[in-house]
Amino acid sequence: MPISIRQAISQIQTDLKSSMDTRIAPKALWVKWQMNLANILKQVNETKRVWKSSDMWYRINCLELETVNAANCPEIYPLVKEYVAKSKHKLPATYTSAAGDMIRDITSIFPYGKQYVLVTPKEYDKIRKREFKDPKLGYAFIIDNYLYIPDAEVEKVSVTAAWTNPKEAAIFNGEDVCKPFLDFQFYMPEYLIKIVHDSVLQDLVNGNQRTIKDEMPDLNENSRGQR
């Protein structure tokens, strides 16, 4: 389900009021949210559940690519020796699960409708040497956040993924760059929102309690010294 960053942070601030000082910057709370979510998504059991969900994903509707000579791309040459379609802009970062980068779908817009499987350049080098290949499938890889589609003339693709920065992904779809960061939406299953919310809350409360204990004088030690 879509939820704004402001909504998620506001709920944490509300729940913290009863147990600790809530003067924590919204940006710091969002970074904590991202860190906890990243750790949860790397758990094998959670990976399986999230990939089946339709609520985790946001699609960049149009990512433009340009055809370049692979020889001019040292990061992929000589594993790819011919031409390659490379995105004109870097993709936003994605979360990582136990199964790898959380990119669910890459589909061409022009030409229309071909799907691309995400692999590494080394894996692609092995695939292209196979005697029998599925003509319906294409392959792609990401290096330094650039998308590469080798040996194909592709001008535009859509990319569906779990992005770590909702603002960067939304700007690709024409969202106002001046829109307040807290008003951008991210996508997560409702059950996972609760899990992350509770984990952030617990970490902050526990951390606050440890700080209080560290700042308090050791009354037992003082008492023993006065006897």
Size (the chain), residues: 227
Q: How many angstroms separate the CA atoms of 4 and 216, rounded?
A: 38
Residue type, 136: K
Q: How many angstroms separate the CA atoms of 145 and 164, rounded?
A: 13
* Residue 215 CB coordination number (10 Å): 7
Strands of the chain (E only): list them. 2-4, 58-69, 83-87, 96-97, 100-101, 103-110, 115-118, 137-143, 146-150, 156-161, 185-187
Closest listed residue to residue 12, CA positions, set 200, 208, 188:
200
Assess contact for 80 and 151: CB atoms under 8 A: yes
pLDDT by position in tens, the chain (length 227): 799 999 999 999 998 887 666 678 999 999 999 999 999 999 978 888 888 898 999 999 999 999 998 888 888 887 777 889 999 999 999 999 988 899 999 999 988 889 999 998 889 888 888 878 777 789 999 999 999 999 888 999 999 999 999 999 999 999 999 999 999 999 999 999 999 999 999 999 887 655 434 444 454 444 444 44
